[in-house]
Structure 1
Amino acid sequence: MTAGRRRALIVGVLAVALLAVAGVAYAGRAGWIPGNAAAGDQYRLANPVPPSGGAATPGGTGGLGASPETTGSPDASSTSTSAPAPSPAPPPEVTRPGEDSTGVPDGVTLTAYTGPLRITQAGTVIDGKRIDGCLDVRARDVVIKRSKLTCGGIMLKIEQRTANLTIEDSDLDGAQTGFVAGYWNYTLSRVDVYNIEEGPRVGSNVIIADSWFHSMHPAQSDEAHQDLMQTNGGSNSTIRGNVFDATSTVAGVSFNAAFQVGAEFEPLENVLVEENWFNGGGYTVNIRNDPQISNVLFRNNVFGPRHGYGEVSRADSPGIIWEDSNVSEADRKPVW
């Protein structure tokens, strides 16, 4: 064999070998080698929507990253086997305290209270009394129960932030000009409150529960902004299971709010307002746009039909947590 023919044979063999190697490499990338159909899939990002066609099938409609399979025409919507989302649970019914569950219990005979209206003795208990006059509480751990207090001024004046006053199962008659209490460390429980110009002031460490506030009387002033309940700041208070009916029986008279919420005097924080029935006012719950409000939660409250402008103002204010469980009595739909 001549040298020229030997060189031509070597070149031919090398060319065939190079073509074979290139074909194998291309076949491997394309998935043409038996047993290697999923080559490269381990490097793909998982599709957040699981494919409907099962295992990956090159060229098919059910592989990784593919759209869910459809049936019928190309425009048909995809089928789904997932169960429908459950309907949200209806808000709980609100128990409305009233004549049968608040105030002096049936069968209690009241006798005249002859003690001091300024209370300075810690642990004083007033039980089954008819109190004619306003109380000025300047002692700790005073309890008033199964009694009726009639006062046309500040009905319960709490001088000390540490008073820890409790009023339960009692009537508070404002004699058409009174307002209930202010401002700190007191509890009202199962109390019937009526004939008032203003309701309780809520400061710090206040509990108002299972009570009935109604029959507001118009103030003798055109500039009055009457509220059935009001807070101007404070912390750690709970308002639960009450009726606040800020309506008037006098034609043409309306009141500012059933609950006026703000932080004018000090920060307002950590307040729970739940399972109450609110009615009346311009805005039934009127929230000021004060910056120092935090963690004030409204939930499971029901709103009656009466209001001038709406059930609530500024429910999306910073620091206000307003849940969808606050509903209108008329249609049980969320308020706001």
Structure 2
Amino acid sequence: MTAARYWPLGAGRIVTSSFGNRAGEFHYGLDFGRPGGSAGMAVNAVQGGWIDRVGPATGFGRWVCIDHSEADGSGYSVYGHIVPEVDLHQRVEAGQRIGHIDPDPWTNGNVAPHLHLEIHRALWAPADSGDRLDPLPWLAGAREPDQEGGAPMGWTGDPIWLADVLRDEGLNVIEHDGWKDRGHGDFRDIRGVLCHHTAGGGSNDWRIVQNGRPGLEGPLAQLVLERDGTFRVIAVGVCWHAGRGSWPGWPTDNANYHVIGIEAVSRGDGSDWTPVQLDAYKRGAAAIMRKLGRRAA
């Protein structure tokens, strides 16, 4: 059975530079963009695999490299000129979001933002080795990354990246002492975000979330969102926030091991939300969903 392959960009993509000779040099990859500009466009894994390189890279600004096992279809893929949203040695699935196109043109010689994709035959291959393949025929028959059948799992284990992801979104963050050691055990696969309000609205609501209340031991959520838009990072382990209920793909009455909880400081009657709090709620939840490799809409 052939392993699934996905286009690295979604609908609207175009090839802006082909594999082969270009301006007297050989271009060992394929560049993608879209009409009107591609800055910030989501970048997706073309096959499943393990993150082998991530971060700053000469000539690329930043990149992500994925090593694909034989079960995933084999080979090695390189994604240049992007802002990574994954971590070194993380497992990703075919079609999963791994970053977005860097909006800063100076990261690639002041060329308009775009994705540079390389496909290497097996492992990482030098430019003149003959083992870098033309990605376009390699992608023949690839699926769209935003259609059903993409990766159902974006992260397994505790979300140690919570504070960094929120800060990278431009949000204010307070890290509570001991948050990296606080929780009721370890996460399994994380499937989403569950949004709550504290039903209080006071300046000390976070204390209840962190320490618990009679009959329910804290922590009660990983994050508290204050009325001024500041996120408090309370815990990284499992929290008792997802009580009774069900949702497709989540365990009935026990989603605590699969969702990150946000408790927003509010009475919950719709009268005391602030514009900055609502904006931070949407942006923070979307940033976490992107980190999980899921759609943030």
Q: TM-score range by the shorter chain?
A: under 0.3
Q: Which has the larger radius of gyration?
A: 1
Of structures 1 and 2, the one scoring higher in RCO (CA 8 A, sep 6+) is 2
What TM-score, normalized to structure 1? 0.21
